[in-house]
Amino acid sequence: MTLRPLSRNPTPSQHPTPRLNPLKAQPRLKTVQAEFLPGGRRVGFYPGTFDPFTIGHRDITLRALAQFDELVVGVALSAAKRPLLSLDERCSVIEQTLLPLCPGGKSLRVVGFDTLMIEAARKEGAHCVIRGLRSSADFESESQMAAINRQLAPELETMFLTAREEHRLVASRIVRELLAFGGDINPYVPANIARLLLSKAGKRPT
């Protein structure tokens, strides 16, 4: 990384020091940090098991993408959870869902990982981890996890995005339960994912 030379400090008589509003100083610090990323690109990492990837996940992804030059959706293996879809299936179907929605000038990638989340984020060159929040309970658990991640990887920030009102009740767990008992999953997952899930369950898509 090549550092730009520092300019000489102006004398007080030439340029009086402005009074800074402390509430407005923090965003500027984040901008300066982003300038020192490789190529000056802002890279975000959105991790999850995504079993399955819901319309809520899709919304968080697209909103997060607006804040970064590149967004990496990290799909965790999570073998202990015995997911409905394999890691390859989840990565493939999420790509099919998201790539057509990626606006010009942005970069969106979907990768699988079976490591600590912070290790996967570092590998992808991310400086910020994105987490979606549906409730106050989510905030409590995610805040604790963010604090642990900050100790392990101080260079990684965490960005919380709250779910839209219409997505507050949309959860992968609910989709799995609906699928198991013959409920309608179509309102909660993208169409291509609904077709895959129904096919895996031996049911005819509606």
Contact 84, 189 (CB under 8 A): no
Q: Residues 58, 127, 167, 172: which is the catalytic one?
A: 172
Give the mean model confidence (pLDDT) for residues 24-42: 45
How far apart (Å, rounded) are the C-alpha atoms in residues 78 and 113?
Answer: 9
The rounded percent of the chain whose pLDDT value lies above 90 is 74
What dihedral do alpha carbons 180, 181, 187, 191 form, nearest 10°? 40
How far apart (Å, rounded) are the C-alpha atoms in residues 103 and 58?
Answer: 14
Q: Residues 134, 150, 176, 195: which is the catalytic one?
A: 134
Average pLDDT over the chain, rounded to an integer: 85
For residue 12, pLDDT beyond 60: no
Let me know if 86 is a catalytic residue. Answer: no
For residue 34, pLDDT beyond 80: no
Which tens digits make up the pLDDT trace of 40-64? 789 999 999 999 999 999 999 999 9
Let me know if 63 is a catalytic residue. Answer: no
Let me know if 81 is a catalytic residue. Answer: yes
Q: Residues 30, 41, 81, 168: which is the catalytic one?
A: 81
Domains annotated on the chain, with CATH: 41-169 (3.40.50.620)
Contact 79, 175 (CB under 8 A): no
Let me know if 82 is a catalytic residue. Answer: no
Dihedral-angle region of residue 109 (phi above 0 means left; psi in -120 to 50 means alpha; beta otherwise): beta
Report the helix count and the strand count for the chain, using DSSP H and E: 7, 5
pTM: 0.79
Q: Residues 42, 57, 58, 167: which is the catalytic one?
A: 57
